[in-house]
């Protein structure tokens, strides 16, 4: 009897095919889309990326953070620091932001992972506050009121505004594809299996030799680095930074959490679905700010109480679809060559 682990299912084969087609269409968006379309799409990509990363941390690693804005702002400030102080091209600064953020995340993880559950959440918020306060103290980067990216560096990306838009659009697309690919690869690796085990039962996972803390630290650092890169890009596009904007709880945590909850926590498709819903609502409601946040918060609460697996969770339960090939099935083939497939979760 032979045993093989397969990831793809019929549904995910179809899903991946659709994704590939969509990707091609989106890659050539500069051909068919106007400036506003490209900007909207870039925003969608950044939110998909941020929400997917938050989902990885909370839904898969069980670390519910309300302080990821710490790394959005950190990445952004690293980019601006290298641009303003060292004249480094912003395009190089994005991956650099990821690396530096990973290094910063190590001692932070050491501190904040001493807290469990709810206390961990508030601890992450405090870390974000500390980052924000420290940023306000750095006067060379504008202190409390912020600073703009020097024009010379902006021009260095591309001489024409149109090409700058195209390049920034492609960076955004590349970032979100990279983030999703990273998450899929991580979940398919033995770390992904470890995460699933920890999610099901921490005690049982530990008894089976999984180093729970190390797995969580790893995920925390990876998420921090990726979030920082996205944050660096967001503020590159905005051309201007300030502590309140870079470390905004509303923009980088509230929206992200609501998107993921409504879309579906703990499934990779969830944040994508949630982001689409979020932006569809925003386009139709048009009125941003207070009432919109209020409604979003209420909807998120309702979803959490009545359908905790979110929209995608409901779809999975009703139809058994999956888009990304992540469900592990064991294929048993007996001596006669007859195979039987059993899937787990």
Partner 1 sequence: MERDREAPMIDWINVILQGVLVGGLYAMFAAGLSLIFGVMRLVNIAHGDLIVLAAYVALVTTETLGVGPLTSLALVVPLMAVIGYALQRLVLNRTLGEDLLPPLLVTFGLSVIIQNGLLAVFTADSRKLQAGDIEVATIRVFEGVYVGLLPLLQFAIAVAVIAALQFVFYRTALGRAFRATADSQSVAQLMGLDNRHVFALAMALSLAVVAIAGVFLAVRANFDPAIGPARLIFGFEAVIIGGLGSLWGTLAGGVVLGVAQAIGAHINPGWQLLAGHMAFLVILAVRPEGLFPRART
134 binds partner 1 (CB under 8 A): yes
Compute how many residues bind partner 1; rule: CB under 8 A. Answer: 39
Question: Which one among 5, 106, 122, 332 touches partner 1, defined by CB under 8 A?
Answer: 122
139 binds partner 1 (CB under 8 A): no
Nearer to partner 1, 12 or 136 (CB): 136
Phi and psi based region of residue 56 (left: phi greater than 0; alpha: psi -120 to 50; beta: remaining)? alpha
Contacts of 272 (CB under 8 A, 6+ apart): 48, 52, 263
Closer to partner 1 by Cβ: residue 67 or 90: 67
Least distance to partner 1, CB of residue 122, Å: 5
Long-range Cβ pairs for the range 312-320 (8 Å, 24+): 312/263, 312/264, 312/267, 312/269, 312/270, 312/273, 312/274, 313/264, 313/265, 313/266, 313/267, 313/270, 314/264, 316/264, 316/267, 320/11
Write down the H helix ranges in 113-148.
Answer: 117-137
Answer yes or no: are the C-beta atoms of 331 and 339 closer than 8 Å: yes
Q: Which is nearer to partner 1, 42 or 215 (CB)?
A: 215
Q: Choose which of 4, 10, 35, 114 interacts with partner 1 (CB under 8 A).
A: 114
Does 173 bind partner 1 (CB under 8 A)? Our answer is no
* CB of 15 or CB of 266, closer to partner 1: 266
Closest CA to 174 of 229, 114, 98: 229
Please identify, using beta-carbon distances, which residue of 45 and 258 lies nearer to partner 1: 258
Residues comprising the chain, all counted = 345
Site for partner 1 in 289-308 (CB under 8 A): 290-291, 293-294, 296-298, 300-301, 304-305, 308
Binding mask 233-272 for partner 1 (x = CB under 8 A): ----------------xx---x--xx--x---x-------
Q: How far is it, in rounded angstroms, from Cα 270 to Cα 326?
A: 13
Q: Does 125 bind partner 1 (CB under 8 A)?
A: yes
The Cα 180–Cα 177 span in angstroms is 5
Chain residues in the site for partner 1 (CB under 8 A): 58, 64, 66, 111, 114-115, 117-119, 121-123, 125-126, 129-130, 133-134, 136-137, 249-250, 254, 257-258, 261, 265, 290-291, 293-294, 296-298, 300-301, 304-305, 308
């Amino acid at each position: 009897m032979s045993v093989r682990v397969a990831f793809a299912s019929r549904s995910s084969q179809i899903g991946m095919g659709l994704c590939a087609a969509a990707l091609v269409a989106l890659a050539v968006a500069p051909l068919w889309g106007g400036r506003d379309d490209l900007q909207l799409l870039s925003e969608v990509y950044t939110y998909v990326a941020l929400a997917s990363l938050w989902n990885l941390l909370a839904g898969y690693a069980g670390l519910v953070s309300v302080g990821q804005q710490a790394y959005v702002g950190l990445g952004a400030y690293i980019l601006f620091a290298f641009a303003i102080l060292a004249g480094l091209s912003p395009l190089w600064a994005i991956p650099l932001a990821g690396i530096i953020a990973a290094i910063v995340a190590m001692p932070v993880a050491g501190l904040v992972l001493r807290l469990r559950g709810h206390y961990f959440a508030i601890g992450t918020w405090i870390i974000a506050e500390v980052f924000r306060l420290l940023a306000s103290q750095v006067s060379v980067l504008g202190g409390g009121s912020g600073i703009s990216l020097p024009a010379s560096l902006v021009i260095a990306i591309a001489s024409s505004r149109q090409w700058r838009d195209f390049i920034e659009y492609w960076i955004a697309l590349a970032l979100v594809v990279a983030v999703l690919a990273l998450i899929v690869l991580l979940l398919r690796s033995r770390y992904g299996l470890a995460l699933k085990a920890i999610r099901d039962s921490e005690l049982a996972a530990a008894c089976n030799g999984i180093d729970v803390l190390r797995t969580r630290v790893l995920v925390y650092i990876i998420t921090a680095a990726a979030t920082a890169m996205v944050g660096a890009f967001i503020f590159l596009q905005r051309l201007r930074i300030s502590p309140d904007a870079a470390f905004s709880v509303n923009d980088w945590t509230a929206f992200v959490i609501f998107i993921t909850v409504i879309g579906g926590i703990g499934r990779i498709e969830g944040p994508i679905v949630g982001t689409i819903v979020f932006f569809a609502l925003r386009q139709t409601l048009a009125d941003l700010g207070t009432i919109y946040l209020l409604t979003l918060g209420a909807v998120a609460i309702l979803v959490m109480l009545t359908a905790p697996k979110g929209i995608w969770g409901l779809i999975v339960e009703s139809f058994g679809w999956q888009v990304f090939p992540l469900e592990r099935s064991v294929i048993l083939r007996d001596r006669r060559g007859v195979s039987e497939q059993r899937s787990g979760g």
